Structure 1
Amino acid sequence: MGSFSLMHWGVVLLLVLLLFGAGKLPSVMGDLAKGVKSFKAGMKDETASETAVLPDTAGGPGARS
């Protein structure tokens, strides 16, 4: 189980071209890029919501009793 050589990558590229075709490959890669951007945006939104300031419920100087 060594690292991949240039020949291995050539075979992989040939198989990808055979499976998807040269015309369809740019649209597949575009869809992949959109998915990655959407994932990153979702992770950023999740992080922002976790660090959002929660309202004070401890009964500070303006709290009603």
Structure 2
Amino acid sequence: MGFSTTHLIIFLVIIIVIFGTKKLRNIGSDLGGAVKGFKDGMKDGTAEKTAEATPPTNLPPTEKTDAKSAIDVEAKIKS
């Protein structure tokens, strides 16, 4: 029930006659561009995930503050 080599050749000849070589070439280049874009997108997605997982190393030095200039951020509910 499979296709033999002669069946595939006849099928390809019919496709070339119907669509023409120029349209088939355009379809092939469009399909190749889409696959390349998909692969690049997948690489960018994995690069962004690994970049988010690693903490930044170039943080500015922290400054010491005294108790008077510090702000208490803990809020209490008024009743």
Q: Name the TM-score class by shorter chain.
A: 0.5 to 0.7
TM-score normalised according to structure 2 size: 0.54
Higher relative contact order (Cα pairs below 8 Å, separated by 6+ residues): 1
User: Where do residues 17-56 of structure 1 align in structure 2 (5 Å cutoff)?
Assistant: 17-54=16-53, 55=55
5+ residue gaps, structure 1, are 57-61
1:4-58 Cα offsets, whole Å, 9 max, x none, are 32113213312321342122211111111111110110111111112124448xx
1:41, 1:49 → 2: CA distance?
A: 12
Quote the sequence identity (%): 45
Q: Which has the larger radius of gyration?
A: 2
CA distance in 1, matches of 2:24, 2:9: 16
Q: CA RMSD in A?
A: 2.2
